[in-house]
Amino acid sequence: MKDIFNELIDSYIDTKIGITEHFLSDALAKHLKENLNILYAQKQLLYAGTGNEKQVLHDKLIRSDAIYWLDRKHNNQYENEFFDLIDDFVSHLNSTCYTGITGYEFHYALYEKGSFYKKHLDQFKNTNSRQFSLIMYLNDDWQEADGGQLCVHHHDYLQNISPNNGKSVFFKSSELVHEVLLTNKVRLSITGWLKIN
């Protein structure tokens, strides 16, 4: 895994946005996707808001995805396997880049057809605890016409990243304004943040 971790970190250092194709194994991605689809069928996902627990706004004109927070307390085999992977990545990131990450939070995200998330930064205005954003996509056979790209607003250009299965994206939460473009079919991911206290 260290080679994949390094690919994600090195591409972030080179371009401000790290991308790798196999951060999640095919088997783990499959199981996490199955979990997400079951939770959606059981109506366990909630429509997401913007802001944090101190100031949250629910506005479907800004974002229209539905989410479900992952937690070791769920005692789900595949969520825990995912968290073990994140622990390994955080340990590697801290030892190689001295980032001082002390925690994280992740949720499933499901965008129904016609959903989107307007331009935003991932770091809250009232706290800088979120240091890095990490997104992992769970979409088989995604085509350009399906939309739903992650559009990253760099200083002098736009970068569109398709949410293909197995792809992971890593960037500084306070640096890159980004949006999720209108999706033309259901779009699945795990999204989260590496944090400091």
Distance of alpha carbon 60 from alpha carbon 49, whole angstroms: 8
The type of residue at 76 is N
Number of other CB atoms surrounding residue 82 within 10 Å: 23
Structure tokens at 164: 């293909």
Name the stretches of the chain with pLDDT < 50: 56, 58
> pLDDT value at position 61?
73
Please give the backbone phi and psi of residue 34, each rounded to the nearest 5 degrees, phi first.
-60, -45
CA distances from 48 to 17, 28, 56, 173 (A): 24, 25, 9, 18
> pLDDT value at position 49?
59
> pLDDT value at position 123?
80
pTM: 0.91
Burial class (CB in 10 A: 0-12, 13-18, 19+), 156: exposed
Domains of the chain: 2-195 (2.60.120.620)
Indicate the angle between helix axes 2-15 and 77-97, nearest 10 degrees: 60
Distance of alpha carbon 123 from alpha carbon 100, whole angstroms: 17
Q: Are 152 and 17 spatial neighbours (Cβ–Cβ below 8 Å)?
A: yes
> pLDDT value at position 160?
97
